[in-house]
Amino acid sequence: MVAMNVVVCVKQIPDPAAPQSLEPGSHTLDRSGKLILDDSDAYGVEMALQLAEQAGGGEVTLVSMAPNGETSGLRTALAMGAAKAILISDEALKGSDALGTAKVLAAAIKRAEPDLIIAATESSDGYTGTTPVQIAELLGLPSITFAKSVAIDGSTVKVDRQTEAGYDEVTAPLPAVVTVTAGVVEPRYPSFKGIMAAKSKPVDTLGVADLGLDAGAVGAAGGRQEITAVNDAEARAAGEIVVDEGDGAQRIAAFLEQLKLI
Amino acid sequence: MAIAKIWVVAEPADGGLTTTTLELLTEARSLASTVEAVTWGTTDVSTLAGDYGATTVHSVGDIGDALPGAPVAAAIAAAIAAGQGPDAILIPTSYDGRDIAGRLSARADLPVLTNITGLDGGDALSTQHPVFGGTQIVNARFTDQGPGIFVIRAKSFTPEPSGGAPAALATLAVPDLGATNSASVAARHVEERSGPKLDEAQVVVSGGRGLGEAANYSMIEELAKLLNGAAGASRAIVDAGWVPYSHQVGQTGKTVKPTVYLACGISGATQHMVGMKGSKNIVAINKDADAPIFTIADLGIVGDVHKVLPALIEALKSR
């Protein structure tokens, strides 16, 4: 079998367990605090590692766009077994929208010349959900999104793709972009050996100029969109909260009966 | 004042169009002078689309085993490049809708706004998006020449026929697609489903981490069946592999607005609440009195799901 090179797009996001806030002025997400590997991307990294292993070897390269030269999320994924990372970090990228991000990632991915590109269906912080497909179009590649299972057969990728009615079996010739849903595989825990090895795995840091991109096409200006207001949503008041004293089920049944559902 | 023309990407389903498509056609009527639909496949949807206000249906025709993303996006991009495009494009948030939106954005070099739950009209459209679990609403808009690409969540609008005449049918030419169209569907599987679809059910019974283990999800399914409802799940148990992604309710899953949503062992993470906050009635069972789900529950039972659910199932069976 021919070794297969896989690129995984990973995002380093503000820790969801910490309070989130918007920057005054632009109202974009404040990314100045601690950034960690998006949970959604653990599935992509694991899938890539498994596919590379099944193909008899090959490299998993991480590609990530992050502010301030952030690498902590990359080290987590490198500790899982990825071979190296390409990080694009540049002041000019602040406030980038999905298309701008896709242009940056596509330019970086092109340098890696992968057989397969894997990403999550959407990030946990921005959840625009279009970046991987935008990358596919920019690179002139096929894409299969919402993969429940992924297998490589020679130079073809075979995916079970989620649909409204169930799932479709979809195939595409490599190279291709595949996005994976959560729970599609169980991500491995990095071993101590993996964590130590990750410290010295190469992280190639690039700026906008290195990728030959026009600064006007990326960042906030390239996004061509703005947030005009942020307001509290209408709060939904709570009703009756009671402690179950053996009567909880009856209370629910009575509630359903009153709604004429039973 | 309204904008001149909106194109709604009309997703075919079951011999007609998806409910979200009908929601978007309805909303588009109040925002633009002219509403047209863009679709694919072999079914003639001109009567249905016309009934919801579209005056023309542009179709790329039979795409065979291809996925719609590449051909539909390229056809729309070509129309825009030829000066025959609309002022705004509304796309449903669906598996294929998102593919079309992403490829169109890249091909036509136009930005895209997604996760939209509301639109405001005028000379240009502005959008509403829930953020931070739906506790805040962000308003946004495009700042440059359009057309704007707007991807809208299900159940953001109520579908209503306008009683319009059948739409005219037009062919939308698909340019050369190269390798972007090389994915193909080898087989289609319809999941056997007893009971209503999750996003259409009047009753949704949903389970979360509080169930303890995958085997206990059977209580959720049993209760859903007894109530002629659908079974849903929090992202936590989908991530854990207890149930498939198709059951997920939340920011990155389905949006549901049933008459009753029963949240069992679900803490109410903000991203889950976005998907079910619009339910008419919410019942929650959780052993933690401080669980955020209780801040939006109409009836909250602070108790052990392992006790309350079996008792509720028994009570319903014996009626």
- pLDDT tens across A169-178, in order? 999 999 999 9
pLDDT of A234 strictly over 70: yes
Q: CATH number of the domain at B203-317, please?
A: 3.40.50.1220
- Position B58 scores a pLDDT of 98
Average pLDDT of every residue of chain A: 94
- Position A237 scores a pLDDT of 85
Q: Do A129 and B235 touch (CB under 8 A)?
A: no
Query: Residue A217 — pLDDT band, cuts 50, 70, 90?
Result: confident
Q: Do A142 and B132 touch (CB under 8 A)?
A: no
ipTM metric = 0.94
* Lowest model confidence (mean pLDDT) among A3-7, A116-120, A135-139, B261-265: A3-7
Query: Residue A34 — pLDDT band, cuts 50, 70, 90?
Result: confident
A-chain residues near B112 (CB < 8 A): 97-99, 128, 130
Which tokens belong to B293?
A: 């789900």
Minimum Cα–Cα distance from A245: chain B residue: B303
Best mutation target, A9, A11, A128, A186, to test chain B (most B CBs within 10 A): A128
Would you say A145 and B95 are in contact if contact means Cβ atoms under 8 Å apart? yes
B240-288: per-residue pLDDT in tens?
889 988 899 998 789 999 999 999 999 998 889 989 999 999 999 999 9
Query: Residue A221 — pLDDT band, cuts 50, 70, 90?
Result: confident
- Assigned CATH topology for domain B3-181: Rossmann fold (3.40.50)
What value does the mean pLDDT take over residues A222-231?
93
Query: Residue A2 — pLDDT band, cuts 50, 70, 90?
Result: low
Q: How far apart are the first and last CA of chain A?
A: 60
- Position B123 scores a pLDDT of 87
pLDDT of A72 strictly over 90: yes
- Position B189 scores a pLDDT of 94
pLDDT of A255 strictly over 70: yes
pLDDT of A22 strictly over 70: yes
Q: How far apart are CA B95 and CA A149, in angstroms?
A: 16
What value does the mean pLDDT take over residues A141-151?
96
- Position A259 scores a pLDDT of 94
User: Please, which residues bridge with residue A47 across strands?
Assistant: none
B180-220: per-residue pLDDT in tens?
999 999 999 998 778 899 999 999 999 999 999 999 999 99
Q: Confirm or reject contact between A19 and chain B (CB < 8 A).
A: no
- Position B52 scores a pLDDT of 98
Query: Residue B112 — pLDDT band, cuts 50, 70, 90?
Result: very high
Query: Residue B113 — pLDDT band, cuts 50, 70, 90?
Result: very high
| Consecutive H or E run containing B137 | strand B136-142
Q: Do A232 and B135 touch (CB under 8 A)?
A: yes
Q: What is the residue whose two structure tokens read 């959604």?
A: A40
Calculate what percentage of chain B has a pLDDT beyond 90.
Answer: 88
Kindly tell me the burial class for residue A76, based on how many C-beta atoms sit within 10 Å of its own C-beta (0-12, 13-18, 19 or more). Answer: buried
Best mutation target, A103, A164, A218, to test chain B (most B CBs within 10 A): A164
Domains B3-181 and B203-317 share a fold: yes
Determine the Cα angle at B110 with ends B107 and B116, to 5°: 115
Q: How far is CA B106 from CA B7, B153, B175, B255, in A?
A: 18, 21, 15, 27
Q: Confirm or reject contact between A153 and chain B (CB < 8 A).
A: no
Q: How far apart are CA B305 and CA B207, in angstroms?
A: 10
pLDDT of A186 strictly over 60: yes
User: pTM here?
Assistant: 0.93
pLDDT of A1 strictly over 60: no
pLDDT of A180 strictly over 70: yes
Which of A231, A239, A241 lies at the smallest CB-CB distance from B137?
A: A231
| Residues in CB range of B119: below 8 A, 6 or more apart | B27, B31, B125, B126, B127, B128, B150, B152
Residue type at B255 in one-letter notation: T
B-chain residues near A253 (CB < 8 A): 312, 315-316, 319
Strand order, beta sheet including B281-286? A240-243, B299-302, B281-286, B260-264, B203-207, B230-233
Minimal CA separation from B16 to chain A, in Å? 14
Q: Answer with the residue of higher pLDDT: B146 or B126.
A: B126
Kindly tell me the burial class for residue B171, based on how many C-beta atoms sit within 10 Å of its own C-beta (0-12, 13-18, 19 or more). Answer: exposed
**Pairing verdict, β B32-39 and B3-9:** parallel
Q: How far apart are CA B211 and CA B306, in angstroms?
A: 7
Complete domains list, chain A, with CATH: 6-223 (3.40.50.620)
| Residues in CB range of A246: below 8 A, 6 or more apart | none
Calculate what percentage of chain A has a pLDDT beyond 90.
Answer: 79
- Position B1 scores a pLDDT of 60
- Position B253 scores a pLDDT of 85
A-chain residues near B289 (CB < 8 A): 241, 243
Query: Residue B135 — pLDDT band, cuts 50, 70, 90?
Result: confident
- Domain positions in chain B: 3-181, 203-317
| Residues in CB range of A234: below 8 A, 6 or more apart | none
What value does the mean pLDDT take over residues A43-56?
95
- Please state, as a whole number, how many other Cβ atoms lie within 10 Å of the Cβ of residue B61: 15
Q: How far apart are CA B25 and CA B148, in angstroms?
A: 16
